[in-house]
Amino acid sequence: MRLSPAELTALVDATETCPHRFLGLHPLGDGGCVVRCLLPGATAVEVRELTTGAAFPMERLHAVGLFERVLPGRETSRYRLHATYDDGTTRELEDPYRFWPTISEDDLFLLGKGDDHRVYHKLGSQLRTLDGVAGVSFAVWAPSARRVSVVGDFNLWNGRAHPMRALGASGIWEIFVPGLAVGARYKFELVGPHDRTPFLKTDPYGLHFEPSPNHAAIVCDLSGFVWNDALWMEARRRRDPRTRPVSVYEVHLASWRRVPEEGGRVLGYRELGEQLAAYCVELGFTHVELMPPSEHPFDGSWGYQVTGFYAPTHRFGSPLDFMTMVDTLHRAGIGVIVDWVPAHFPRDFFALARFDGTHLYEHADPRLGEHQDWGTLIFNYGRHEVRGFLVGSALSWLERFHVDGLRVDAVASMLYLDYSRKAGEWIPNRHGGRENIEAIEFLRQVNALVHLYHPGVAMIAEESTSFPGVTKEVSAGGLGFDLKWNMGWMHDCLDYFRQDPLFRKFHHDKLTFGMLYQWSEAFVQSFSHDEVVHGKGSLIGKMSGADDVTKAANLRSLLALQWTWPGKKTLFMGCEFGQFAEWKYDASLDWHLLEYPLHAGVQRLVADLNRLYVGDASLAENELRPESFEWLVTDDGAQSVVAFERRAHGRAWIVAGNFTPVERTYRLGVPWPGRWEEAINTDSRHYGGQGLGNLGGVQAERIPCQGRPCSIEVRLPGLSVVVFRLDAP
């Protein structure tokens, strides 16, 4: 039985879209069978039956290594190939073309709709045992490719060795390669619809990658990892992040802490887990937030230009090491939030850009498909398979790595078609508007699915506009996020604290305006990495003051205002001890500053603010509701004083801020009689202040004030925030 010249040419030129039609075992009409194989470099091949041990030499049809053997009157399904190569070596191997597809018709249907929510268990590389043979199955979506092969060390990166089959009209290509195991490096070699020269792509679903410049994916097995965080995970299912204290320490793993004794090397995932857990427990943070831990090629992108949406970056260890870090943090009672970037991806040709020779993951029209600000590409959210890819990425981080939340980056850029574009540079939606309808539906879908499969996980939006309903439930027409960064409050506060105290009275509204929209969303009060880069200076460097002591006093006041204002908290690393230098992604934080009382005092203040906030959890439970807050003093711009009450479940805080250097005596209304504890005073010597205050507390008097039946007369040191606390009698 001979192949036609066209069929033979298609096989040896690796242009056949379904090589399984001709390679492998095929029955003949007379009850016999024919076996064909393509083994580049082989000079002789035998078919060896496993049941009988019989060996049958194969005929060489082409010098590239195409062989055939007709076995009339025989039916065999179990065989191996014994090959002799031109260097004299021999190998016995399983034939990859004798195995059935590893993806079913039902799988293809769901994948095509973008509705396979565990797509990462189908596409990419999967360790499998088929017909008693261990190996790795590979599958990739490349609908416009004319040929796809899997290449790697195992076939000398030869695209002729393992061409994959196209599974109908699904656009998915698949092959099972027997004998491969964990650690095998691989890529996909594709020929595009308009190309003659093959090109290489990394696996979009890869779990582990080698470093630049090669970027090969590495077969990985996570199944053997033993988690020890069952108590944490079970408790998380019962938690609502909106009603729990959430104090987040934002971290860039490469620059948090390095090892100077070893040339400034970065810490590995396992070291980071141990050290971050100890540090967060010491300072009272409830969560760490990792700037994108996903695989990325360029250190200077800080992880925000992702090429491996399913893979923890290789820089700090393996995926198993990443899991160990998360497990360690969970066992210490610290949650893990990761920054997730579905808004865009880089143009690096080895990754998603023009993946199959066409604009597959991105829009072809640059008015839809390019981010002008960042030089990146925008996902085509209207394509089912692209949505499925991104949904799978989100769910993979939660299922595989036990992550407790996703902080979704650059949501505003997803919501608006005219984001950072001039007239004529964007295309309106089908209704003539500027909203990206497909992106909005995608965000609703991913938030709904995360909450369905992983109760207790927090979805957090970095959204810088006034788009309505970001944290409203999907069923009520919202986007479905749990929380949203409060960018307006952050900008107003920083603008206020930049002002010389002499002129703050003219900017008093910056302190109060945020309450006009505070209850429109479920907010996180955040000072993130974005505020300490690109020439913006450090957080303490933004503070008004001619000397370090004054700047530190302002910083302590700002942090106390952040922690006592209703809403969850996020603080970028280094801000908790007042690092003066702007953050550098390629160097460690300036930990030596903690040798100085001024910086150690800021750190102690953050720890005490966290203990107050987490310890008074009843206030955090109620902090996203308007009844938890009431102004006491809003209109004293002349003295730059504000005061407010926080109350919930029989517990109250009275918070007063004096943002001039002049000490003041002030009477504040309180709801109950008794001795009000001075729980926080940012001017305490313990925090590096002058030590002025109220000797630990004040006794309430039966003097009505500000609508309350009682009042306290308090001492407000200059440039300070003081918090008084009392439980109801």
| Per-residue pLDDT tens digits for 412-470 | 999 999 999 999 999 999 999 999 999 999 999 999 999 999 999 999 999 999 999 99
- Cα–Cα distances (Å) from 581 to 258, 577, 587, in that order, read 16, 12, 11
222-227 long-range contacts, Cβ below 8 Å, gap at least 24? 222/319, 222/320, 222/323, 222/400, 223/127, 225/320, 225/323, 225/324, 227/323, 227/327, 227/402
In a domain, 603, yes or no: no
In this predicted structure, what is the pLDDT of residue 28?
85
Q: What are phi and psi of 300, to 5 degrees?
A: -70, -10
User: Same domain, yes or no, for 51 and 162?
Assistant: no
Locate 326 and state its tokens: 């998360």
Nearest C-alpha neighbor of 395 from the set 469, 447, 471: 447
Q: Which residues of 625-648 are buried (b: 16+ CB within 10 A; e: fewer)?
A: eeebbbebbeeebebbbbbbbbbb
pLDDT for residue 1: 53
Evaluate whether residue 595 is within a structural domain: no
- DSSP structural state of residue 159: T
Does 282 reside within a domain? no
CA distance 299 to 286: 28
Same domain, 666 and 703: yes
Residues 534 and 652 in one domain: no
Query: In the listed set 98, 123, 158, which residue is the last one of a domain according to the structure?
Result: 98
Contacts of 50 (CB under 8 A, 6+ apart): 78, 79, 80
Residue span of the structural domain in which 123 resides:
105-218
Whether 597 is in a domain gets the answer: no
Kindly report the CATH number assigned to the domain that includes residue 310.
3.20.20.80
CATH number at residue 90: 2.60.40.10
pLDDT at 43 over 60: yes
Residues in contact with 373: Cβ distance below 8 Å, sequence separation at least 6, in sequence order: 420
Residue 482 vs residue 75, higher pLDDT: 482
Residue 619 within a domain: no
Residue 370 within a domain: yes
- The CATH number of the domain holding residue 713 is 2.60.40.1180
In 409-530, which ranges are E strands? 458-461, 483-485, 523-527
Mind listing the pLDDT tens digit for each residue in 218-277?
999 999 999 999 999 999 999 999 999 999 999 999 999 999 999 999 999 999 999 999
Within this chain, do residues 93 and 114 fall inside the same structural domain, yes or no?
Answer: no
Residues 347 and 401 in one domain: yes
115, 152 Cβ separation under 8 angstroms: no
**C-beta neighbour count of 727 within 10 angstroms:** 13
pLDDT at 76 over 90: no
Q: Quick one: average pLDDT of 500-505?
A: 97
Do 93 and 173 belong to one domain?
Answer: no
Q: Are residues 75 and 121 in the same domain?
A: no
pTM (2 d.p.) = 0.96
Label residue 373 by pLDDT band (50, 70, 90): confident
What is residue 248's three-state secondary structure?
strand
pLDDT-above-70 percentage for the chain = 100
Residue 280 lies in a domain: no
Residues serving a catalytic function are: 409, 462
Judge if 358 and 481 occupy the same domain: yes
Asked whether residue 108 carries a pLDDT value surpassing 70, the answer given is: yes
Same structural domain for residues 109 and 77?
A: no
Boundary of a domain, candidates 33, 64, 98: 98
State how far the Cα of 28 lies from the Cα of 32, in Å rounded to an integer: 5
Tell me: the pLDDT tens digits for 454-490? 999 999 999 999 999 999 999 999 999 999 999 999 9
The answer to whether the beta carbons of residues 447 and 477 sit under 8 Å apart is no
Note whether 541 and 676 are same-domain residues: no
What pLDDT does 3 receive? Answer: 86
Q: Are residues 392 and 459 in the same domain?
A: yes
Please indicate, yes or no, if residue 232 is contained in any of the structural domains.
Answer: no
- What is the tally of structural domains in the chain? 4
- Residue 499 pLDDT exceeds 80: yes
480 and 416 in one domain?
yes
* CA 712 centroid distance within chain: 47
**pLDDT digits 0-9 by tens, 381-391:** 999 999 999 99
- Rounded Cα distance, 436 and 439, in Å: 5
For the chain, percent helix, then strand, then coil, each to nearest 5?
30, 30, 45
CA atoms within 13 A on the CB side of 686: 12
